[in-house]
């Protein structure tokens, strides 16, 4: 199952980008033999300042056809890492070919786009900067493959 991280905004060079690349590289290597990955980041940018509605339109354009969509949202479901791993494995085992994970802009995702999603995930009630949310998501993707592979990376 290919993972498409569809995000609003461009991440410039820096430690966050290095972490993202490291975790996605680990995810791709670990997940390859399990039918997970590759993962790629697709960045969109609303240069006209159209707000959440314009960002939603840009995100919709980059979601692969028939992809399952998951949004990152503070109102989403709080789950533990093993549950997230199980969810990814279940989607893969059900024959899902593409998973699009959406991260909105500074104001979040439009209510309409959130309502269209198949699943909403939260990293907690706190709001996280987009660059850190991306890092955390990439780490959790790697952690999920490690859990599914039985690796000692996740200690619970």
Q: Is residue 156 part of a domain?
A: no
Q: Is residue 155 part of a domain?
A: no
Q: Is residue 118 part of a domain?
A: yes
Q: Is residue 83 part of a domain?
A: yes
The total domain count for the chain is 1
Q: How far apart are CA 129 and CA 14, in angstroms?
A: 15
Q: Is residue 87 part of a domain?
A: yes
Q: What is the pTM of this model?
A: 0.94
Which residue is associated with the tokens 């410039």?
12
Q: What is the CATH number of the domain that holds 112?
A: 3.40.1280.10
Contacts of 77 (CB under 8 A, 6+ apart): 119, 120, 121, 122
- pLDDT, tens digit, 9 for 90 and up, residues 58-117: 999 999 999 999 999 999 999 999 999 999 999 999 999 999 999 998 889 999 999 999
Q: Which domain holds residue 9?
A: 2-149
Task: Provide the pLDDT confidence category of residue 140 given band limits of 50, 70 and 90.
Answer: very high
> 154 pLDDT exceeds 80?
no
For the chain, the average pLDDT equals 94
Contacts of 61 (CB under 8 A, 6+ apart): 44
Q: Is residue 61 part of a domain?
A: yes
Q: Is residue 154 part of a domain?
A: no
Q: Is residue 65 part of a domain?
A: yes
């Amino acid at each position: 199952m290919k993972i498409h991280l569809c995000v609003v905004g461009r991440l410039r060079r820096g430690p966050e980008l290095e972490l993202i690349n490291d975790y996605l590289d680990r995810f791709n290597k670990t997940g390859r033999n399990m039918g997970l990955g590759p993962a790629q980041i697709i960045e969109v940018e609303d240069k006209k300042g159209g707000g959440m509605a314009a960002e939603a339109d840009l995100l919709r354009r980059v979601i692969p056809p028939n992809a399952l969509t998951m949004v990152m949202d503070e109102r989403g479901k709080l789950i533990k890492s093993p549950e997230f791993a199980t969810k990814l494995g279940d989607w893969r085992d059900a024959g899902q070919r593409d998973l699009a994970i959406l991260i909105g802009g500074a104001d979040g995702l439009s209510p309409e786009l959130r309502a269209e999603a198949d699943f909403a995930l939260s990293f907690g009630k706190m709001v996280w900067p987009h660059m850190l949310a991306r890092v955390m998501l990439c780490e959790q993707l790697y952690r999920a493959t490690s859990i599914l592979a039985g690796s000692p990376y996740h200690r619970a």
